[in-house]
A and B are shown apart, each in its own frame.
Chain A
Amino acid sequence: DAGVTQSPTHLIKTRGQHVTLRCSPISGHKSVSWYQQVLGQGPQFIFQYYEKEERGRGNFPDRFSARQFPNYSSELNVNALLLGDSALYLCASSPGTQETQYFGPGTRLLVL
């Protein structure tokens, strides 16, 4: 069975631009969570979606938004990119909101 997939794998943007990252969960999983991992730190929670509704939001500015589609895939959008947004963005899926989360390979974003 396919695991969590994310696209693109790498991305280079300049300050002020907008970026959209995509995630497809494991088949049968209805919950998707997004995390940001900067170098030397553990992943930091951004959002959790379940059945297309936002169930949790971390301490990130409104420049960060996300949505979940009827097929349970998800997009993370970041507007007005800053240099500090450079990080590995991880998507995780789980059957529901309480079960173990399984991570994708991540999208590495570099903002110049």
Chain B
Amino acid sequence: DQQVKQNSPSLSVQEGRISILNCDYTNSMFDYFLWYKKYPAEGPTFLISISSIKDKNEDGRFTVFLNKSAKHLSLHIVPSQPGDSAVYFCAASPRSGGSNYKLTFGKGTLLTVNP
């Protein structure tokens, strides 16, 4: 049973336009969410995170939106650049209560930004 779902295996956008990557989760205990970017032959690189007490967090070109009632989050990249082409993973954890802060990942979305 997948607790974190990224339903779009791939996304292609033009340079300069907005990229929107989506993620859904099912576990109500999740209260901390992260996005990682992964290039081939490298480990995941942390991009941005959001706590469940917020509905938006922004860092430069990257903005993450959280809709707790819908159990949905999205990552917006504006403007998209060719160097953003990578696999993007959504991850979640039950940060509060207990000591197990494991990350549960989605399967990833391959973003291709065309020049």
Contact = CB atoms under 8 A, between A and B. Distances in A.
A43 B89 contact: yes
Interface residues of B, number: 23
Interface in B12-39: 34, 36
A4 interface: yes
B108 A42 contact: yes
* A interface residue count range (under 10 / 10 to 19 / 20 to 34 / 35 or more): 20 to 34
A4 B43 contact: yes
Interface stretch (A11-19, A68-76, A78-86, A93-101): A93-101
Interface of B is mostly: loop
Given A4-B43, A103-B45, A43 B107 contact: no
Interface in A15-53: 33, 35, 40-45, 48, 50
Contact of B102 (A50, A56, A103): A56
Interface stretch (B55-63, B65-73, B75-83, B93-101): B93-101
B52 to A, nearest CB: 14
